[in-house]
Amino acid sequence: MTDCIFCKIVDGDIPSAKVYEDEEVYAFLDISQVTKGHTLVIPKQHTKNIYETHPQVASNLFARLPKIASAVKEAFQADGVNIVNNNDEAAHQSVFHLHIHVLPRYGKGDGFGLKWEDNSGKYTQDQLTETAHSIASKIS
Ligand code: AMP
């Protein structure tokens, strides 16, 4: 796609700090380096977000994550790794070419935050079943 910054990176028209490349997948350092080693993993084939991604493209992309995440963790002896994928502006997607953030973690105050409320016990089993049915009915 001509006006896509990540397609331009794949094509070599914009510089990037490459971490990994094969036929289907390209991985490079995120320019923002939220934590040291913050890496983006993308399909070479342009796809806007997770909803529009062909299952085979998603499969190829995710298949590379174990080795890339392991390398990111090992390179700087991180304590852990978060794998994050943002879809839509409301979910903080700013580049509309599917990408997976691999974020090595170095303990509290390392620069990455994720607010995660624990609502266990808030919903009855019937309410959870109803919510699950609403989602299940949309899976084709
Ligand atoms: P998101 O907010 O999930 O869409 O993430 C997009 C990410 O792309 C951000 O973390 C940016 O820092 C990163 N980014 C944007 N332009 C470049 C670039 N030219 N090279 C590397 N990373 C980039």
Confidence (pTM): 0.97
Q: Is 17 in the pocket of ligand 1 (CB under 6 A)?
A: no
Q: Is 31 in the pocket of ligand 1 (CB under 6 A)?
A: yes
Domains of the chain: 5-113 (3.30.428.10)
Specify burial of residue 42 (Cβ count, 10 A radius: 0-12, 13-18, 19+).
buried
Cα separation, 96 vs 8, in Å, equals 13
Q: Where are the alpha helices (DSSP H) in 1-140?
A: 5-11, 55-75, 125-136
Closest Cα partner for 35 from 91, 106, 92, 95? 106
Q: Which amino acid is at 101?
A: H
pLDDT at site 89: 98
Q: Is 95 in the pocket of ligand 1 (CB under 6 A)?
A: yes
> Tens of pLDDT along 48-89?
999 999 999 999 999 999 999 999 999 999 999 999 999 999
Catalytic residue among 38, 97, 99, 101: 99
> Tens of pLDDT along 1-55?
789 999 999 999 999 999 999 999 999 999 999 999 999 999 999 999 999 999 9
Phi, psi values for residue 102, rounded to 5°: -110, 110
